[in-house]
Structure 1
């Protein structure tokens, strides 16, 4: 198989590129040149946000293109139009965030969606991803466009900082604020499981929208944070704290306490999607301990600070805020 990877040097794109190379596929990575692609991949340079930035893609044929773009949908539109007729299958890595909020737990791929347009400039994450979906469908049609609606993505190469923050905090040791309840279910996908399913599906010629995440409850906040503590040497004491107290203190879930959302509407939206279609279609999710241990091993292998996307806020609770919450009752 010949794969054209739009991106491919960081997080999801890198995991997909590495998986394709491991399969023996011929991989070409189109990127801006800020980071080197994995060894073995060919490179084409260009900036999709600049006039003429797609010139390097004017020639060539591929079996599959995978696109992870999360900015203005016009970039997906222009890439898909340019490649139509020279690529058999267009895979767009989208997000479950394209579903209109609020959405009940158990929502399938057929649930209501946000508005989007392939001709729009940047609007917001959900609208931009929906516009990207529409751009892929417009150029390649329903039979040749695969929409991979990923849930929360964790694992090595993460450049958002959610799991890396928890691991770094656990490695510092001491008493760590742990948001309860411990049995609160989580739903996420390891980036390598996402990559494997995506390439399997692309190779099989699958199309349409697919929710890609573990079943809700594949892990809990308790099993995730316990795995983080164990991976970093068991130097941290998890202090399980009532969510009502955390919220009363003005702590922002998801941002200040990454991954965690209290039970309720937003938790149902982010951690309660129906993924039965993907599971029936071959998605296999590795244990949370594997995701945590491998992410910690990757963090320890870095020479400096882990990568971080400049368009995303840095997650995590400040030491002062954590200390303040740890001085009162927990429960």
Structure 2
């Protein structure tokens, strides 16, 4: 495991350990702890020779979650080219606009290069990482195009923000419609799918995310209420009202992307290929409940092990109160 201390990497390491695999992770050693039974090597892929600790090793499966400059994926894959399989955790953000709902893996991706040394564009970095993994490993490269990832350990804070807001109680601005389909993947299901296919030697690209409508905004918030026990009143509000108030989907109100929004496709991707290959997604109640129990235990959303988040998520309480006072007076 290249990395292994962040949200997705840690879940993949934990899944490997659960299966009884021999797991080695290589990272700089400045984030997180080493789980029991895992061998940790020190290495920094951003400097020349930084992965020298891996030289001469024999690896069945390599998993890489890198989201920086693509050349780092190329260099790591080249060093590890004798491995049996290379799984690169990518993103649905790689698809070239305009993107239509229901998009499948065969659709064009943004222009990128495996040799790119820039790390200023997430979509281009992930697309370049895909190219790098494929150029070295060919059909032995698995490209996991993840969507919205939720679950215990989340280091962005989208679901944790909703859980804390609901736990605080009172009137909660609930972005409508309540039956708006939500598409996401629990990090543990992503980890299991990645290791399943890597162990089977399956290559190629897969949209790894639940079916559209695995839950809804209403279902998600209802589970948040159930998990936290918050004394709340969900004040369902039309998208037009929220947008007119300058409240931004996804950032101010995490997870929510209203109908007709230019990025609505992020929660309406085609997943037939992944489900045919064995993807299984647990119920939303399990994801929400386990995330609340984890958050209650750790107390705060952990900092990202990789690049820091460029902006915080979640609506300012004063802005929420102002909109509720106008449209849902007591």
* Same structural fold, with TM-score higher than 0.5 when normalized by the shorter chain: yes
Secondary structure of the corresponding residue to residue 119 of structure 1? coil
Secondary structure of the corresponding residue to residue 88 of structure 2? strand
Pick from 218, 225, 235 the counterpart of residue 239 of structure 1: 235
User: Per-residue deviation at 1:271?
Assistant: 0.6
Q: How many residues align?
A: 324
Pick from 196, 203, 206 the counterpart of residue 202 of structure 2: 206
Runs (5+) with no aligned partner, structure 1: none
Aligned counterparts of 1:75 and 1:312: Cα–Cα separation in 2: 21
User: Per-residue deviation at 1:75?
Assistant: 1.0
User: Per-residue deviation at 1:267?
Assistant: 4.3
Residues 261-296 of structure 1, C-alpha deviation per residue, up to 9 Å, x if partnerless? 111143432111000111111111111111000000
Aligned counterparts of 1:38 and 1:312: Cα–Cα separation in 2: 29
User: Per-residue deviation at 1:237?
Assistant: 1.6
CA contact (8 A) 2:140 2:203 kept: yes
Pick from 12, 16, 39 the counterpart of residue 16 of structure 1: 12
CA contact (8 A) 1:161 1:308 kept: no
Pick from 58, 70, 73 the counterpart of residue 73 of structure 1: 70
Aligned counterparts of 2:221 and 2:121: Cα–Cα separation in 1: 30
- 2:53 pairs with 1:56: yes
Using the size of structure 2 for normalisation, the TM-score is 0.95
Q: Which has the higher strand share?
A: 1
Structure 2 match to 1:271: 267
Residues 30-51 of structure 1, C-alpha deviation per residue, up to 9 Å, x if partnerless? 1111211322110011121123
For residues 230-309 of structure 1, the aligned pairs below 5 Å read 230-302=226-298, 304-309=299-304
- 2:35 pairs with 1:38: yes
Aligned counterparts of 1:268 and 1:329: Cα–Cα separation in 2: 25
Secondary structure of the corresponding residue to residue 111 of structure 1? coil
Runs (5+) with no aligned partner, structure 2: none
Residues 134-183 of structure 1, C-alpha deviation per residue, up to 9 Å, x if partnerless? 00011111x11000101110000100110011111111111111100001
* CA-based RMSD: 1.3
Aligned counterparts of 1:70 and 1:327: Cα–Cα separation in 2: 41
For residues 143-162 of structure 1, the aligned pairs below 5 Å read 143-162=139-158
Structure 2 match to 1:325: 323
Post-superposition, which runs of at least 4 consecutive aligned residues in structure 1 deviate over 4 A? none
Secondary structure of the corresponding residue to residue 170 of structure 1? helix
CA contact (8 A) 2:257 2:264 kept: no
Pick from 119, 122, 141 the counterpart of residue 122 of structure 1: 119
Secondary structure of the corresponding residue to residue 29 of structure 2? coil
Aligned counterparts of 1:32 and 1:170: Cα–Cα separation in 2: 37
Aligned counterparts of 2:89 and 2:7: Cα–Cα separation in 1: 12
Aligned counterparts of 1:265 and 1:324: Cα–Cα separation in 2: 24
